[in-house]
Amino acid sequence: MAQTLTETAGSLEAMTPVPYAVTAKRQDTYDTWTLELEPVDSAPIVPGPGQFNMLYAFGVGEVPISNAGNFESDERLVHTIRAVGAVTKALCAAEVGTVIGVRGPFGNTWPIVEAKGNDVVFVAGGIGLPPLRPAIYHVLKNRKDYGRFALLYGARTPSDLVFLDEVKSWQCDYDVDLDITVDAGDTDWKGKVGLVTKLIPPAQFDADDAKAFVVGPEIMMKFVAQELINRDVPAEAINVSMERTMRCGVGLCGHCQIGPTLVCRDGACYTWDEVESLIAVKEL
Amino acid sequence: MKTLDAVIAESPVFAGLTQEQLEFIVGCAQNVHFDAGQKIASAGDPADVFYLIRMGEVALDLEVPNKKAVRIDTAEAGQPLGFSWLIPPYEWKYDVTATELVRAVAFDGACLRGKCDADPVLGYALLTRFAQVLAGRLQATRFRLLDFYGTDSH
């Protein structure tokens, strides 16, 4: 059962990083690594699908990173991190045995159990695939409980695609309608080229009966949501994960505020009808 | 199996045309197929034909001097391929290759151009439809310039 520390705002537990050791590390792309973490001397954190942890590179800083592991069978924390700033570069440079701080889990979860009986459509952009993995694992484990399963994945280039072997194995083993596109390829790339939105019209799912889960940059989610709505998927059936600057994780600091909502407390998972009007506000 | 008439009439790019206009367009069309790896057009070739892809996928590649060719787009089933037949100097802008078995409808663009000149109503109808295709491509290109998957800086 997933925990959340979000409701313990102000408590010592919510604000104190717990020491975790890096027990495995894998380079996914030229700038992205996946870390597996185990607690040094405490009970393991059990994040649910869609939740995030605050990872603390001691002496450098703290960042929110989505859970990317299998919450139902794995007691290790799995986080996929792109090295783009000082903190993420420090985390990606952590070798096996390095101790980092972890606070969490924070935020709400994907309504993946509630989607039982529906077709499910996962749309991932760039490094948006890892935050979807826990929900995907749940569907794969309970495959018969769900209808058609479409996974649509877009990235900047072929070398930016993460977990490609794993994704292809899902296609074969679990009857997943997998479609991948990149913004730019070369002649060695055998897949599609173009925006991830082009994958939506031909995807195999029943719009009246589908639940969509979308993770990527907000601009991508906006156009993906529009394309899903063009296929008559209701806005309330489109789930997105908002990525704002989370700091405290418990709704106190206000860094992640969008209009009336605090992403760390009320999200990061929202339905499109909840956030569409907020995303439309300039500079919000 | 659908007839050529039905395939063309049901294509969004020809939606809303009159029966007479559709019949003329069907008269300029034929079914074709390309094997995987087969070159469909080369940049600089006369663009006297365009296609409606019925099955399969084609790649549009741009040769870059001293570098590997860049794959700038792919077109899949249901999409029109080629608009240079409508715009001077009527030359293909990219190398076009079938990446898998492709079945398509080929249209005699040179013939249609002549008909469009002689029949401005048909010309306007086709131009507005292909303008939508062009606008969609332009918008997609602009979105790609936005770098959808760009990085944050934590």
Give the start-to-end residue ranges of the domains of chain B. Answer: 4-141
For chain B, the residues whose C-beta falls within 8 A of a C-beta of chain A are: 57, 59-61, 68-74, 76-78, 99, 140, 143-144, 146-154
What is the distance in angstroms between the Cα of B101 and the nearest Cα belonging to chain A? 13
% of chain A surpassing 70 pLDDT: 97
* Inter-chain residue contact B151 with A82, CB threshold 8 Å: yes
| Three-class secondary structure of residue A214 per DSSP | strand
Strands A77-82 and A238-241: unpaired
* Inter-chain residue contact A183 with B148, CB threshold 8 Å: yes
Over residues A255-283, the mean pLDDT reads 90
Which of A195, A218, A222, A255 is most worth mutating to test chain B (most B CB atoms within 10 A of its CB)? A195
Q: List CB contacts (< 8 A) between A190 and chain B.
A: 99
Report residue A26 as tokens. Answer: 């894998």
Phi first, then psi: give them for residue B16, nearest 5 degrees. 90, -5
- Residue A282, pLDDT score: 75
E strands, chain A, are: 18-29, 32-39, 52-57, 61-66, 77-82, 99-106, 119-125, 149-155, 176-182, 185-186, 192-193, 210-215, 238-241, 257-258, 261-262, 269-271
pLDDT interval class at B153 (50, 70, 90): very low
- Residue A153, pLDDT score: 97
Q: List CB contacts (< 8 A) between B59 and chain A.
A: 187, 193
pLDDT digits (tens, 9 = 90+) for A43-60: 898 899 999 999 999 999
Over residues A161-189, the mean pLDDT reads 91
Kindly indicate whether the domain formed by B4-141 is annotated with CATH number 2.60.120.10. Answer: yes
Mean residue pLDDT across chain A:
92
- Residue A71, pLDDT score: 81
Residue A191 and residue A113: Cα distance in Å, rounded? Answer: 32
Over residues A225-253, the mean pLDDT reads 93
Q: List CB contacts (< 8 A) between A184 and chain B.
A: 70-72, 144
Over residues A124-147, the mean pLDDT reads 95
- Residue A198, pLDDT score: 92
% of chain B surpassing 70 pLDDT: 96
- Residue A88, pLDDT score: 96
What is the distance in angstroms between the Cα of A144 and the nearest Cα belonging to chain B? 30
Of B4 and A212, more confident: A212
Which residues in chain A (123-182) have CB-CB distances under 8 A to chain B?
125-127, 154-156, 160, 181
pLDDT at A178 over 90: yes
pLDDT at B154 over 80: no
pLDDT at A6 over 70: no
Residue B88 and residue B110: Cα distance in Å, rounded? Answer: 12
- Residue A185, pLDDT score: 86
- Residue B105, pLDDT score: 97
pLDDT at B1 over 70: no
Which of A163-172, A184-193, B40-49 is predicted least confidently?
Answer: A184-193
Is residue A143 within 8 Å of A175, Cβ to Cβ?
Answer: yes
How many A-B residue pairs are in contact by the CB < 8 A criterion? 85
- pTM of the full predicted structure? 0.90
> Which residues share a beta bridge with A182?
A155, A193
Q: Which of A24, A28, A26, A47 is nearest to A127 (CA)?
A: A28
pLDDT at B35 over 50: yes
- Residue A58, pLDDT score: 96
> Going from the N-terminus, what domains does chain A have, and what CATH number goes with each?
6-106 (2.40.30.10), 119-241 (3.40.50.80)
pLDDT at A2 over 80: no
pLDDT at A181 over 80: yes
